[in-house]
């Protein structure tokens, strides 16, 4: 099919052709030509957000909940630069989004024109790829390429910056265009020799661990993972990005490793003689001090991105490939069972001795971890939980039980405060039939809560648990531990009800509830679960001094994990 139309019309047609149903954005001068045909599209719903950062995180939430590419749109200059944070966030967490920005007219590029910013230059290091389009004829092909790049191989953000004159020019639309991506050929099939080597190491190992990261769910390989784990009997740890990829309730699950991981997960890695890393980055938050990380372990490292392999820790057996195919081939290659009985004795001992726990407060104030446990118990594992960044995020990772892949959505790599509300909105729009709870901090919530207006107006009834400890709690925790309790600029004074989150919720057309005592938690959660005609904000007023434990202090060894202040687990009886 070939039709005459404007560049802007061809953009909207291309979006329809690649299957876009939702775009989050805000118009402005340079992108305005695109908003005109968008007005008529019967297939693409544009959601008018209140801040472009919200558009970007909403696209991420949509992408993570659906597995499809999320889309956001902004105008040139400040509109585009407001997308920088979510683009960087998507890059760090390998989230497939396409960001479409208007650019000043091509003749004005480089003249410091009104609202000009070199957004393709700015985002060069934080996008998987980006395009500057100045010719209307290139728009459909560029859109097709952008969606292909964002969603294949290691997923990630792609920016398409289109000059205003290209949007306004006449062009011919024909579909499908031919992609021109020489050199872009992600390797998905693992090399069979590497698989054989890995299988051999697995059989020889006495203390193997499946170290599972966000890449496994991105490859939609959790069923294969379960099969491999049960076939081999190897213990599994799930990183922050992999919570739910392997069921928490499974007896082989050792928990989350890392700075705030469980003793059993951290201990399993440290004492292992073989780590089978699947879709992981050996991130510093998992390894702790790199030189002392899993000192006796050989490494099998499978990832679709060859740049990840041996980036932080040398891989004895590197495997480049899609995790689904890698795991399938490992299953096929493993024809006997290793003997891991002693290993399991040790690990089960650690798991029993050091379960996750928390402190209750004698003055009757609410423990935030208790709120998580009750949310988990009442709301259940079929909901999506979307966290902000800070202590509440760690408690959400620790104390909510995840049974289903992809049900915990958070900002892992970049650690972006303000992620939760807009990402929850995007997740709910992608999965309208599911319950979506944002678990946010009182600090984070104040960064992006304006998207409550979007949710209320667009009919997106998310639920938000604000874990209100009155402080930038995670920073305060570090001040308690490492800065002699000198609380420089971490008291938000939220305890003085500035703002009053219940009134704020109501001002935005949402329901607002408050909970301050343990005995009310269940009733408030149930009340929130019953409100489905508008978003609900619950202000959980919790104790300011609750801390996240266990903890491996930044830069120290995983071996020095503490289960509370100055309290180390006893490892001695194991070797
Ligand atoms: C955009 C941004 N600015 C600053 C930080 C540093 N930071 C990390 S956690 C945190 C505190 C978050 O406070 P709150 O949302 O109240 O969560 P809490 O830790 O109290 O649960 C801060 C300031 C960050 N991660 N992101
Ligand atoms: Mg806080």
What separation, in Å, do the N-terminal and C-terminal C-alpha atoms of the chain show? 71
Does residue 323 have a pLDDT over 80?
Answer: yes
CA proximity to 438, closest of 370, 402, 388, 372: 388
DSSP 404-453: STT-EE---SS--TT-HHHHHHHHHHH-TTS-EEEEEEHHHHHHHTTHHH
Residues noted as catalytic: 52, 114-115, 164, 474
Distance from residue 443's CA to the centre of ligand 1 (Å) = 6
Distance from residue 450's CA to the centre of ligand 2 (Å) = 18
Q: Whose CA is nearest to atom 13 of ligand 1?
A: 472
Q: Whose CA is nearest to atom 2 of ligand 1?
A: 417
CA proximity to 241, closest of 297, 294, 206, 286: 286
pLDDT digits (tens, 9 = 90+) for 205-245: 999 999 999 999 999 999 999 999 999 999 999 999 999 99
CA proximity to 547, closest of 437, 392, 433: 392
Q: From 393, 412, 443, give the residue whose CB has the most ligand 1 atoms within 8 Å, as the site to mutate.
A: 443
pLDDT given at position 67: 98
pLDDT given at position 495: 85
Distance of CA 191 to the CA centre of its chain: 29
Q: Whose CA is nearest to atom 4 of ligand 1?
A: 417
pLDDT given at position 364: 85
pLDDT given at position 1: 67
pLDDT digits (tens, 9 = 90+) for 53-83: 999 999 999 999 999 999 999 999 999 999 9
Average pLDDT over residues 100-127: 98
pLDDT digits (tens, 9 = 90+) for 489-498: 999 999 899 9
Count of C-beta atoms within a 10 Å radius of residue 338: 18
Residue 551 pairs in a beta bridge with 562
pLDDT given at position 549: 98
Q: Whose CA is nearest to atom 8 of ligand 1?
A: 390
Q: From 420, 444, 490, give the residue whose CB has the most ligand 1 atoms within 8 Å, as the site to mutate.
A: 444
For the chain, the average pLDDT equals: 97
pLDDT digits (tens, 9 = 90+) for 508-539: 999 999 999 999 999 999 999 999 999 999 99
CA proximity to 343, closest of 426, 270, 249, 444: 270
pLDDT digits (tens, 9 = 90+) for 401-441: 999 999 999 999 999 999 999 999 999 999 999 999 999 99
Give the position, in ligand 1's atom list, of the atom nearest the Cα of 389.
9
Give the position, in ligand 1's atom list, of the atom nearest the Cα of 395.
21
Of the bound ligands, which one is closest to the alpha carbon of residue 410? 1
Distance from residue 83's CA to the centre of ligand 1 (Å) = 19
Does residue 466 have a pLDDT over 90?
Answer: yes
Average pLDDT over residues 130-143: 98
Give the position, in ligand 1's atom list, of the atom nearest the Cα of 418.
1
Count of C-beta atoms within a 10 Å radius of residue 158: 28
Beta strands in 2-137 (DSSP E): 2-6, 22-25, 45-48, 70-74, 97-103, 129-133
Beta strands in 31-128 (DSSP E): 45-48, 70-74, 97-103
pLDDT given at position 2: 84
pLDDT digits (tens, 9 = 90+) for 137-196: 999 999 999 999 999 999 999 999 999 999 999 999 999 999 999 999 999 999 999 999
Burial class from Cβ neighbours inside 10 Å (0-12, 13-18, 19+) for residue 339 reads exposed
Residue 235 pairs in a beta bridge with none
pLDDT given at position 276: 98
Confidence band of 320 (pLDDT split at 50, 70, 90): very high
Residues flanking ligand 1, CB < 6 Å: 388-392, 415-417, 441-444, 467, 469, 471-475
pLDDT digits (tens, 9 = 90+) for 284-299: 999 999 999 999 999 9
Does residue 572 have a pLDDT over 60?
Answer: no
Number of H helices, E strands in the chain: 23, 19
Does residue 573 have a pLDDT over 70?
Answer: no
Of the bound ligands, which one is closest to the alpha carbon of residue 393? 1
Of the bound ligands, which one is closest to the alpha carbon of residue 390? 1
């Amino acid at each position: 099919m070939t039709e005459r139309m404007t560049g802007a019309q061809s953009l909207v047609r291309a979006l329809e052709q690649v299957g876009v149903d939702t775009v989050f954005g805000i118009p402005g001068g340079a992108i305005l030509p695109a908003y005109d045909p968008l007005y008529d599209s019967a297939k693409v719903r544009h959601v008018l957000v209140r801040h472009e950062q919200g558009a970007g995180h909403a696209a991420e939430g949509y992408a993570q909940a659906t597995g499809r590419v999320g889309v956001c749109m902004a105008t040139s200059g400040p509109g585009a630069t407001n997308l920088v944070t979510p683009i960087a966030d998507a890059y760090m967490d390998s989230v497939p989004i396409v960001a479409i920005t208007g650019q000043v007219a091509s003749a004005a590029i480089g003249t410091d024109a009104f609202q000009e910013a070199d957004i393709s230059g700015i985002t060069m290091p934080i996008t998987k790829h980006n395009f500057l389009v100045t010719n209307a004829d290139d728009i459909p092909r560029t859109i097709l390429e952008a969606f292909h790049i964002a969603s294949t191989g290691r997923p990630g953000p792609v920016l398409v910056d289109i000059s205003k004159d290209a949007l306004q020019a006449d062009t011919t639309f024909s579909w499908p265009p031919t992609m021109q991506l020489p050199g872009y050929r992600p390797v998905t099939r693992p090399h069979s020799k590497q698989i054989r080597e890995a299988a051999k190491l697995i059989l020889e190992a006495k203390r193997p661990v499946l170290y599972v990261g966000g890449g496994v769910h991105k490859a939609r390989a959790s069923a294969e993972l379960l099969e491999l784990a049960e076939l081999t009997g190897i213990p599994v740890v799930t990183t922050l990005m992999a919570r739910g990829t392997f069921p928490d309730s499974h007896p082989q699950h050792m928990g989350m490793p890392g700075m705030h991981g469980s003793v059993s997960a951290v201990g399993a890695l440290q004492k292992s003689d073989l780590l089978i890393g699947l879709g992981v980055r050996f991130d510093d938050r998992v390894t702790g001090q790199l030189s002392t990380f899993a000192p006796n372990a050989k490494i099998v490292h499978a990832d679709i991105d060859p740049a990840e392999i041996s980036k932080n820790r040398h891989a004895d057996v590197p495997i480049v490939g899609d995790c689904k195919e890698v795991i399938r081939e490992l299953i096929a290659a493993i024809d006997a069972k290793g003997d891991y009985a002693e290993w399991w004795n040790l690990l089960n001992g650690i798991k029993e001795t050091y379960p996750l726990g928390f402190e209750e407060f004698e003055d009757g104030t609410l423990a935030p971890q208790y709120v998580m446990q009750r949310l988990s118990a009442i709301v259940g594992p079929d909901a999506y939980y979307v966290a902000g960044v800070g202590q509440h995020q760690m408690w959400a990772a620790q104390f909510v039980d995840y049974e289903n892949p992809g049900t915990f959505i958070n900002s892992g790599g970049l650690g972006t405060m303000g992620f939760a509300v807009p990402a929850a909105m995007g997740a709910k729009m992608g999965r309208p039939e599911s319950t979506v709870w944002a678990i946010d901090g009182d600090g984070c919530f104040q960064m992006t809560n304006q998207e409550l207006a979007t949710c209320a107006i667009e009919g997106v009834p998310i639920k938000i648990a604000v874990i209100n400890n009155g402080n930038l709690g995670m920073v305060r925790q570090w001040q308690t531990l490492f800065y002699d309790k000198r609380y420089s600029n971490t008291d938000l004074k939220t305890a003085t009800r500035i703002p009053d989150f219940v009134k704020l919720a109501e001002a935005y057309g949402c329901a607002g509830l408050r909970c301050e005592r343990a005995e009310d938690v269940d009733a408030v959660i149930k009340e929130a679960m019953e409100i489905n005609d508008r978003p609900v904000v619950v202000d959980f007023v919790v104790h300011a001094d609750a801390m996240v434990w266990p903890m491996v202090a930044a830069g120290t060894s995983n071996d020095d994990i503490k289960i509370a202040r100055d309290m180390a687990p006893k490892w001695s009886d194991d070797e």
